[in-house]
Amino acid sequence: QVQLVESGGGLVQAGGSLRLSCAVSGRTARTYVTGWFRQAPGKEREFVAAISGIGYSTRYTDSVRGRFTISKSNAANTVYLQMNNLKPEDTATYHCAAAGPRLTANSNDSNDYDYWGQGTQVTVSS
């Protein structure tokens, strides 16, 4: 059974930084695509970033490109999301998601991901 556990969320002022972690158990993070999604109250779930299983190819949504960086540690079996220059509109619950073997390219579609973490709250004050 694949399990994803997020950590690192919190309250930060605009312009600040946070690093989210997603610990993967039940299989290796190096194998399949892993992504971050976020959902703010009253809004739909939104794709943030993804990283490939094989190699280190990445994909970002336009609103975070240049501010957020997704990375992974194969040794730690963990995927990270470094968030810099945070804005109030980044406030949301951030979820880590992992795909199954059928997904071979980074995807921004939540339907392509099979496993989800419970989420970690990020709040950015103005």
Residue of 120 and 105 predicted with greater confidence: 120
Range 72-76 contact pairs with CB under 8 angstroms and sequence separation of 24 or more: 72/29, 72/30, 72/34, 73/29, 74/28, 74/29, 74/30, 76/23
For residue 28, pLDDT over 80 is answered with no
Mean pLDDT of 95-122: 93
Q: What is the structure's pLDDT at 100? A: 85
CB 23 within 8 A of CB 80: no
Percent of the chain surpassing pLDDT 70:
96
pLDDT of residue 29: 54
Quote the mean pLDDT of the chain.
Answer: 93
Q: Is the pLDDT of residue 30 over 70?
A: no
pLDDT band, residue 122 (cuts 50/70/90): very high
- Mean pLDDT confidence for 32-42: 95
26 or 40: which carries more pLDDT confidence?
A: 40
pLDDT at residue 49 in the model: 98
CA neighbours within 13 Å on the CB side: how many for 123?
5
